[in-house]
Structure 1
Amino acid sequence: MARIPEWQKYQKEVSSFLSELGFDVRVDETIEGARAQHDIDVSARMSTAGVDILWLVECKAWGRRIPKERILTLQGIVDDIGADRGLVFSESGFQAGAIRATRSTNITLTGLEDFRMNFQDEVSPTKARALDERIVRLLQAISAVWDLAESERKSTLARYSGPSGLIFPKGDPHAVVGVTSHLSRMRTSLEDARFGRWPVTYVPLDLVLGEVFDINDWEGLLFVAEKSMVTCGRIYDHMMTPGSIPVDWRVLQPPELTSLLSSIRGQ
């Protein structure tokens, strides 16, 4: 029986682990980029927060440290394909130049055990970026309401049932700032987390003046960000639906978030 090469064993180990984490994994896939086709050791896909994520993975079962040149090649492929992240797995380590080349980039240099320990630190920023993209799209959609013809704009804004802004009472067209300011603050919190500026702040939609919660980890932040995004999206959909009747926006908030906020406030 032919002996399985070490590189193939290592590639299988990496792909199996990524599959266990919930990724849709493909081995030796050819992917079309903007400028060329690229043969990828392992591609890993996941849908999270409504956005598709693609990681490109190289598996190096080498007996020496991986040089900078290999990393720069992968960076070019990641950029050409438009992948979210590139990962290089190696148990022999990386040269100093390779490590320096990945600073402040979307390339991760790791070994299997290190990745097992730090997986959440790798995937959470990607989830945060996906959420941020959703927030930007929703902010753009709300902003586009002002481009509607005057009669349509007035009727649309009249259906707004979200929280009002502090200086704009319910019924004022500018009351939508209650949602837009919340979304903007959430973007800031996600950015702070991506840069490691913990704790980050979370201001609920039904804020009490001066009420700010500190969040100290990715799990908590991604939970409230996702549930808040769902709430704001439902408020927008309600506003854009002709014939919809006014509602208390809190009925549009996922009960899991309502329950969490109630427990924090001791209600």
Structure 2
Amino acid sequence: MSQRKEWEEYQVKVSEILTEFGFATEVEEVIEGARGKHEIDVTARIRYAGIDQLWIVECKKWKRPVPKERVLAFASITDDVGADRGLIFAEGGFQAGAIRTSRNSSITLTNLTDFVSNSATELSSIKVGGLVRRIAELENKFHSIWNLNTTERNRVNSRYIGPEAFGLKQPIAVRACLSMLKDSLEAASFDRWPVAYFPLHQAEDYSNGLIDVKNWDGLLFVAENTLETCDRIYDHMVGDGNSDIRWQDLQPPELTDLLAALRNMPSQ
């Protein structure tokens, strides 16, 4: 009975920490997956950038390290229930094989102390997930223009006001920017700093070069504002409002000011 109480306290503590980070949590929730039902120690849900995310957690307050087999089994559950991320909390550590298995995957191995210490990175990963989905949605929107009938497609393309690439008045530059932004977010997720940022104006003026971003705050700022700009460019294309407008007018002024300041900085 005392051991069970210790497990319960550990699960509740993990749940409380995630709640402090803004998640809606539940202990021992049963989730229906594609291959069956799973009782999850702690579930954590949050909404960011208009996207819902589900994290599932397994709690192991063991005195011995968690083996690779346990990580593989949990990864299978994470995939089965469609969770965006899986976390294993273990105060006894992890075997070397378990650590190798978790690399380059959606599984995070941690403990209470490390999770709190790395909260900035953990919160950044939430935002990254939402931003990557927004990029995918935007890419699909621009790609879907080609599925329109010829008359409507010509109308939509004629309203494109974004930067031109290779002399073409089509959203090639926007799509390239989205693709590179996705690559930058992925590189940052693997801690490959600095990462390159490709601003939209770069398509029109290649003399400035790419911008190196050195931390999460900077990357999330330019990513969010760039996606907002691309969203507005697309909405203008498919809408029927004023055509006498520049794409720069659709860019959030905070991003415009930052890029202008960077362009005016003396070279190192």
TM-score (norm 2): 0.89
Q: CA deviation at 1:3?
A: 10
CA distance in 2, matches of 1:109, 1:132: 22
Q: CA deviation at 1:133?
A: 2.6
Deviations 1:10-65 (A, max 9, x none): 11111111111111111111111011111111101111233221111112222322
Question: Is residue 214 of structure 2 the alignment partner of residue 221 of structure 1?
Answer: no
Map 1:4-153 onto structure 2 (within 5 A): 5-153=5-153
Question: Is residue 176 of structure 2 the alignment partner of residue 181 of structure 1?
Answer: yes
SS of alignment partner, residue 65 of structure 1: coil
- Count of residue pairs the alignment pairs up: 261
Amino acid at match of 1:210: S
Asked if the contact 1:163/1:179 (under 8 Å) is kept, the reply is yes
CA distance in 2, matches of 1:254, 1:20: 31
Partner of residue 206, structure 2? 209
CA distance in 2, matches of 1:201, 1:33: 38
Deviations 1:169-194 (A, max 9, x none): xxx5x432231222122122223223
SS of alignment partner, residue 53 of structure 1: strand
CA distance in 2, matches of 1:240, 1:90: 51
Amino acid at match of 2:186: E
Q: CA deviation at 1:249?
A: 1.5
Q: CA deviation at 1:235?
A: 0.6
Which residues of structure 2 form unaligned runs of 5+? none
Partner of residue 240, structure 1? 238
Q: CA deviation at 1:113?
A: 0.7
Partner of residue 252, structure 1? 250
Q: CA deviation at 1:203?
A: 2.2
Amino acid at match of 1:230: E
CA distance in 2, matches of 1:63, 1:139: 47
Amino acid at match of 1:199: P
Deviates more, 1:205-214 or 1:153-162: 205-214
SS of alignment partner, residue 28 of structure 1: strand
CA distance in 1, matches of 2:129, 2:80: 19
Q: CA deviation at 1:245?
A: 2.4
CA distance in 1, matches of 2:126, 2:47: 11
Partner of residue 195, structure 2? 200
Asked if the contact 1:200/1:215 (under 8 Å) is kept, the reply is yes
CA distance in 1, matches of 2:115, 2:217: 18
Asked if the contact 1:55/1:85 (under 8 Å) is kept, the reply is yes
Asked if the contact 1:29/1:40 (under 8 Å) is kept, the reply is yes
Amino acid at match of 1:219: D
Distance 1:242 1:53, change over 3 A: same
Amino acid at match of 2:130: A
CA distance in 2, matches of 1:22, 1:122: 12
Deviations 1:75-129 (A, max 9, x none): 1110100111111112121233322332322211111111111233334345324
Amino acid at match of 2:246: D
Distance 1:253 1:57, change over 3 A: same
Partner of residue 260, structure 2? 262
